[in-house]
């Protein structure tokens, strides 16, 4: 059973947990949010939110997972048997599986762009290079490329299926031979790729102006919406509310220092976000692309290919970037899938192989529907949105805040009285100076702020 599995080393534990937190939220959502919310002022708020709110909520999830030694539902059943708190875990599993169904599609897009970069097809016409000085013309070329690669039926589906197959292969290896081994390879690779791209973009002529926007705060840019967006980015980038951290913490050895682990994971997540800022803003400023709004898909699949088209060795930098993006996507999908696999193993006593297949095989249908919602199923709308977008909005704006709020209320008020203190001190063997502050935030500040995030999304 998965409850008996543990990470084999402290490095592997950190790498896997960092890999679960570092994903597309850091790589493509963070730069877009930063530009839309005033640059450095948003970055400063985001850093504050990570440590004031993100770390305490992460510690609440860690404490639940390690003390319960089970899946996201099982921890509540073990700690509060006969009570309905297990529904919080059930919503976490539902949220993670819905997210997984469309995240596989996004990972497929990154795989396709990586392949197109490797083969040279992304820059296969001289017209792109010739028109690179004309922003509107180059933008139209890459926007058309994005439509060809993402909004068709067959090609995105093929790459989505390839990504699902890779995930199955990794997950069948289990906690140590699958997830931990993948993380030990992918996390160092991710940081090497980030450093390579930073070295290039920071040497560009407009780097200073881009860094000024990113690092020199203008406090007049801060308003209520900026604060709410910084809070939302904190939850999204740290993978809070998905059940991932609860599940992974159930694999932690008893001597793992939860407070230290949460700080390391948060710092590494922040580092990736800041390095992405060092890559994005000097590049778009140098080539005059900072005057147009940066949005998730457009930023990654239109704006950045435009940047690479203006640089020597376009294919090389494109390959490095989309490999970076694919690594981030793969570590995310594996982590999200593990939430449901652990549930199947613990609740229904399935073998690892059977649990993997039961969880992953339906994605060949569910992810296909999400992919086709940009193609032949694009006419199907749910509240005016495509199937893909409706799942994104529902999980991000409803399920994740509900789960995070439920975790905080439970750990703060209804869990066994010594749970948080026992876990943060490893049953009294460590000194913890932050327990009282963490408990206060979990009880009072976090639920109110999460409620504010949730309400703001509908106003």
- Positions in the chain whose pLDDT score sits under 70: 1-4, 124-139, 289-297
d(CA 408, CA 189): 34
Question: What domains appear along the chain, each with residue ranges and CATH number?
Answer: 2-456 (1.10.4160.10)
What's the predicted TM-score (pTM) here?
0.92
Q: In this predicted structure, what is the pLDDT of residue 292? A: 62
Q: In this predicted structure, what is the pLDDT of residue 301? A: 83
> What is the DSSP annotation of 271-335?
HHHHHHHHHHHHHHHHTTGGGS---HHHIIIIIHHHHHHTSSSHHHHHHHHHHHHHHHHHHHHHH
For residue 62, count CB atoms less than 10 angstroms from its CB and return exposed for 0-12, middle for 13-18, buried for 19 or more. buried
Chain centroid offset of residue 420 CA? 26
356 in Cβ contact with 341 (< 8 Å):
yes
Q: In this predicted structure, what is the pLDDT of residue 457? A: 75
Give the up-direction half-sphere exposure of residue 159: CA atoms within 13 A in the CB hemisphere. Answer: 24
């Amino acid at each position: 059973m998965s409850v008996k599995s543990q990470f084999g080393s402290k490095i592997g534990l950190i790498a896997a947990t960092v890999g679960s937190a570092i994903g597309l939220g850091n790589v493509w959502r963070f730069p877009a949010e930063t530009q839309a919310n005033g640059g450095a002022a948003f970055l400063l708020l985001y850093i504050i939110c990570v440590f004031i709110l993100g770390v305490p909520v992460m510690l609440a999830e860690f404490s639940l997972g390690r003390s319960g030694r089970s899946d996201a539902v099982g921890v509540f059943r073990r700690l509060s048997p006969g009570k309905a708190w297990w529904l919080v875990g059930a919503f976490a599993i539902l949220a993670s599986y819905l997210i997984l169904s469309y995240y596989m599609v996004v990972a497929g897009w990154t795989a396709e762009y990586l392949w197109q970069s490797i083969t040279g097809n992304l820059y296969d016409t001289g017209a792109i290079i010739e028109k690179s000085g004309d922003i509107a013309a180059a933008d139209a070329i890459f926007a058309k490329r994005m439509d060809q690669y993402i909004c068709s039926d067959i090609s995105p589906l093929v790459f989505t299926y390839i990504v699902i197959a890779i995930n199955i292969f990794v997950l069948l290896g289990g906690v140590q031979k699958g997830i931990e081994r993948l993380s030990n390879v992918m996390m160092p690779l991710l940081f090497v790729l980030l450093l390579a791209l930073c070295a290039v973009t920071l040497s560009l002529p407009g780097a200073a102006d881009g860094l000024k926007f990113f690092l020199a705060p203008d406090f007049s840019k801060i308003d209520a919406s900026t604060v709410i967006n910084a809070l939302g980015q904190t939850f999204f980038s740290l993978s809070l509310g998905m059940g991932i951290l609860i599940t992974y913490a159930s694999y932690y050895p008893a001597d793992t220092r939860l407070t230290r682990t949460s700080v390391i994971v948060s710092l590494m997540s922040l580092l990736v976000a800041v390095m992405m800022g060092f890559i994005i803003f000097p590049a778009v400023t140098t080539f005059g692309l900072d005057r147009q709004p940066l949005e998730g898909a457009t930023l990654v699949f239109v704006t950045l290919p435009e940047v690479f088209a203006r640089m020597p060795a376009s294919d090389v930098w494109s390959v490095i970037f989309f490999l970076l993006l694919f690594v981030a996507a793969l570590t995310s999908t594996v982590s999200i899938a593990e939430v449901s696999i652990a549930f199947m193993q613990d609740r229904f006593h399935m073998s690892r192989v059977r649990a993997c297949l039961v969880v992953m095989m339906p994605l060949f249908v569910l992810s296909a529907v999400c992919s086709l919602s940009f193609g032949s199923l694009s006419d199907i709308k749910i509240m005016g949105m495509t199937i893909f977008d409706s799942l994104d909005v529902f999980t991000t704006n409803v399920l994740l805040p509900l789960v995070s709020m439920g975790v905080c209320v439970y750990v703060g008020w209804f869990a066994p009285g010594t749970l948080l203190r026992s876990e943060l001190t490893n049953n009294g063997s460590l000194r913890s100076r932050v327990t009282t502050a963490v408990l206060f935030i979990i009880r009072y500040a976090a639920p109110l702020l999460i409620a504010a995030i949730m309400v703001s999304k509908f106003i």
